[in-house]
Structure 1
Amino acid sequence: MSSSRPVPVAPVVAAGAIVLRRREGVLEVLLVHRPKYDDWSFPKGKLDRGEHAAVAAVREVAEETGLAVRLGRPLDDQLYVVQGGRSKVVHYWMARPLDGDDVSAYVPNREIDQVAWVPLEEAATRLSYSRDRATLEQALERRKRTTTLIVLRHGRARARSRWRADDRFRPLLKLGEHQADRLVPLLAAYDVRRLVSSSSTRCVTTLVPYADATGRRIATDDGLSEEGATSLGVAERVQELVDRGRRTVLCSHRPVLPAIFDVLGLEDPRLEPGEMVVVHHRDGQVVATERHAVR
């Protein structure tokens, strides 16, 4: 007699953000009301096909509240069961408004009919779910602002064995160019303002689409290339980027990355081409990291 096993059903994946502001000395959190469920929660929503969770979090906040935000440090995921018995995971980040925090112009609709900045002492009672109250509590523990340094390995490049010219000019493959394009919304989710790269072609080209999209200049550095990197030089450069406290992406090579992570006090994660580590730091100390990839 044969028996059949049920096919595992993938969880529903969503993303959102805990958006905070301080107004007249009062800390407030951004909440939304869904008329379909008559509940108050944080802005969030399901990922589009192929969308990165961090990108979805920023998009959902914009769609549900009208505000553009940048992501800060991550919070714990929420995992629960939705109607029909299917599991759902929601990825959350801390976030801050980018270009103003006025939500008065938001137009109510069938999905979200109210958007409100709610004082913290009121938010805990207004939120409809205990899981959201727990997430808010964690967000308050992590509410101090952080700065982001993204350490990125360049996109997939042509093999060394198939390149006869100077290795510094070895180009990206079509896959690598696709990865570079896919990086644009992901870097934008963290509002990266400073672009620093090895002077090698494969690194610079990895950042060109984001530079073009944002109008920002790529600062190239021979000291971050395979040919020019030294332990002391890398340490000084990375420490300078941390000390300046600007939201920065640093693109380099597999052999150079261990020295970069060593300065940050992190174990080398051995990134694949197109992978990155988002390092959240405050007062020179790393407080959180995330690892992301683009395919």
Structure 2
Amino acid sequence: MEPRDVRAAGAVVTRKGGEVLLVHRPKYDDWSFPKGKLDPGEHAVTAAVREVAEETGLDVRLGPALARQRYRMSGGRWKSVDYWTARAIGSDDVSRYRPNAEIDAVEWVEWSAAARRLTYPHDRETLAEARPLRRKTRALVVLRHGQARSRGGWRKDDRQRPLVQLGEAQAQRLVPLLAAFDVTAAHSSTSLRCLQTVAPYVDTTGWPVKLYDELSEEGASVEGIVDLVDALVDGGESAVVCTHRPVLPTVLDAMGVRETKLEPGAMLVAHHRKGRVVATEVLAP
């Protein structure tokens, strides 16, 4: 049996004016994007944000996903690297970066110059893929609540059916994923299992949560969902909407996104700009 791929994640970080962030590794004398290996049990999304912070000092939030790179390393094993576009949150000044043995230079480079400076062909391909997606977007995250107690074994009001232990763990693992997309507001069904799914995030961040009967199975309203989605897409913040499997098609249709199956605790991230969804991706915790 062949060994599993070495997993890594990173980001193509851009800023207004058409520049991209590159790093230089003295050990290999190469120029590339900030990236690094996943810690045991770490999600690639979390690793991408962490590695950019460690290698450049910048706090970033992710935009649309890019194609996974896969190449053979010098030792013979294969490496898979997941990439996202990204923008800095707050200051994007790297002039105070302190060189070290791993990364000795961090620079903002004009786009065409970056294509020439990048050492590897696969990085130049990733740069070309990122170019049409480099403009800043907002994220609207559609989240299916975590694993809940079975409907058949619950004799009380279904709105009060809670998460099981697995669902609670899924809710906890969603915290860094939602933060990676700069989610600053939660919109949830009034059902307990949805509220419990977003609770760890709002408790950790302090961002507000709003409850909607229109997002529940019992009170689902096409008109109410369309109004909510339109307001969120037209608004100036990234948000998460937590709802139920039977309601998901209505939410996605209101967004103009094709119907997508989401497992409990999974989310669809729709990256939108000027009222138009430009990219989507599905992530599980």
Residue pairs, 1:1-295, within 5 angstroms: 7-22=1-16, 26-294=17-285
Q: For the pair shown, which has the larger CA radius of gyration, 1 or 2?
A: 1
What amino acid sits opposite 2:104 in the alignment? Answer: D
TM-score by length of 2: 0.96
Question: Relative to structure 2, which stretch is displaced further, 214-223 or 230-239?
Answer: 230-239
Matched position secondary structure for 2:103:
coil
Q: CA deviation at 1:245?
A: 4.1
| Greater than 6 Å deviation, 4+ residue runs | none
Distance 1:245 1:257 in 2: 23
TM-score by length of 1: 0.93
Q: Which deviations, in whole Å up to 9, do the C-alpha atoms of 1:91-120 show, x marking residues without a partner?
A: 111100002111122222211111111122
- Seq. identity, %: 59
**RMSD of the alignment, in Å?**
1.2
What amino acid sits opposite 1:167 in the alignment? Answer: D
Q: Which deviations, in whole Å up to 9, do the C-alpha atoms of 1:161-219 show, x marking residues without a partner?
A: 22222111111111111111000011111110111000111101111111011111111
Matched position secondary structure for 1:226:
coil
Q: Which deviations, in whole Å up to 9, do the C-alpha atoms of 1:22-53 show, x marking residues without a partner?
A: 3xxx4211111101101010000111111111
| Unaligned residue ranges in structure 2 (runs of 5+) | none
Q: Which deviations, in whole Å up to 9, do the C-alpha atoms of 1:272-291 show, x marking residues without a partner?
A: 11011111122222211111
Distance 1:267 1:131 in 2: 31
How many residue pairs get matched? 285
What amino acid sits opposite 1:206 in the alignment? Answer: T
